[in-house]
């Protein structure tokens, strides 16, 4: 009877890796990377939350000491001041950052004056108010960078803003002792915040009235006015034909009268 041939197992080559070794190595790497990322992300979120809570706490103390008398401890408003619920960070940053608040004295409108708080205190105040209810926030760098279309911005400004602020942004008088302030030298951030919050007698220009691109164009136009002097020479306060006519009336007509008197005196 024939014997079946003996089958001999092929010995595994020394040093050869298991087929699943690469998969296991990748899995370990992914788990390690994910764990480290989660650890750092959690730490960063915790630090950000702690910093935010610290700002809110500091802003609460500043608000109680400087603002609550008029606006109420819960931002509900009083007979002396409106509610701040829903005004957002942009409104607080504008009003406090331009010195209009705290209000020095009652009057037709709050006037710009030296700022009473540091940048860190202002940040704490608007963070505190913004934490109570949603509202317009601070602008992005792209919106206020001045990289928009100055020509389009000039057209938008003349349509929406010039009737109060003058075509050149020089400001103008309104009714009942109120006025539209000059926009010369006003920071782009404050211009944006005024558009979205409507301080004093100014209407609110939300994104349905003026898109973010429109606002960026207007800001670019105002920056152009600040950076480029009047091409016609002395601008006479940018008050238009009134100041120009007054100049001609006083100096032009006065010069004619002076020359007439001089010629008459010389002939005599």
**Distance of alpha carbon 201 from alpha carbon 181, whole angstroms:** 11
pLDDT in tens, 85-100: 999 999 999 999 999 9
- The token pair that represents 115 in the structure block: 């700022």
- The model's confidence at residue 2, banded by pLDDT at 50, 70 and 90, is low
3-state helix, strand, coil in the chain (%, to 5): 55, 0, 40
Q: Would you state the pLDDT for residue 19?
A: 65
Q: What is the CATH number of domain 31-138?
A: 1.10.760
Pick the CATH number of 139-231 from 1.10.760.10, 3.90.850.10, 2.60.40.10, 3.40.605.10: 1.10.760.10
Tokens 């705290």: give the residue: 102
Burial (CB < 10 A; 0-12, 13-18, 19+), residue 232, is: exposed
Of the listed ranges 40-44, 97-101, 151-155, the one predicted with least confidence: 40-44
Tokens 């197992």: give the residue: 9
Q: Would you state the pLDDT for residue 164?
A: 92
Domain locations along the chain: 31-138, 139-231
pLDDT in tens, 116-134: 999 999 999 999 999 999 9
Burial (CB < 10 A; 0-12, 13-18, 19+), residue 240, is: middle
- The reply to whether the predicted model has a pTM over 0.75 is no
Segment 175-190 shows an average pLDDT of 92
Do 31-138 and 139-231 agree at the fold level? yes
């Amino acid at each position: 009877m024939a014997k079946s041939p003996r089958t001999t197992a092929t010995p595994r080559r020394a040093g050869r890796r298991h087929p699943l070794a690469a998969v296991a190595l990748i899995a370990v790497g992914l788990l390690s990377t994910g764990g480290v990322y989660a650890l750092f992300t959690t730490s960063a979120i915790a630090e950000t939350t702690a910093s935010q809570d610290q700002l809110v706490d500091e802003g609460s103390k500043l608000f109680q000491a400087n603002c609550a008398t008029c606006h109420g401890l819960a931002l509900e408003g009083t007979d002396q001041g409106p509610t701040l619920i829903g005004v957002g960070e942009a409104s607080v940053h504008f009003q406090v950052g331009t010195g209009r608040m705290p209000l020095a004295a009652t009057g037709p409108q709050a006037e710009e004056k030296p700022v009473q708080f540091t940048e860190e205190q202002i940040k704490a105040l608007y963070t505190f108010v913004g934490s109570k209810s949603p509202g317009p926030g601070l602008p992005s760098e792209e919106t206020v960078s001045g990289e928009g279309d100055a020509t389009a911005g000039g057209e938008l400004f003349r349509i929406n803003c010039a009737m109060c602020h003058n075509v050149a942004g020089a400001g103008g008088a309104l009714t009942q002792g109120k006025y539209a302030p000059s926009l010369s030298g006003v920071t782009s951030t404050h211009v944006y915040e005024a558009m979205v919050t409507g301080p004093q007698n100014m209407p609110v220009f939300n994104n349905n009235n003026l898109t973010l691109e429109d606002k960026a164009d207007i800001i670019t136009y105002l920056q152009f006015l600040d950076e480029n002097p009047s091409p016609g020479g002395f601008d006479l306060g940018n008050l238009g034909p009134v100041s120009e006519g007054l100049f001609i009336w006083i100096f032009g007509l006065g010069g004619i009268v002076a020359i007439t008197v001089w010629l008459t005196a010389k002939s005599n």
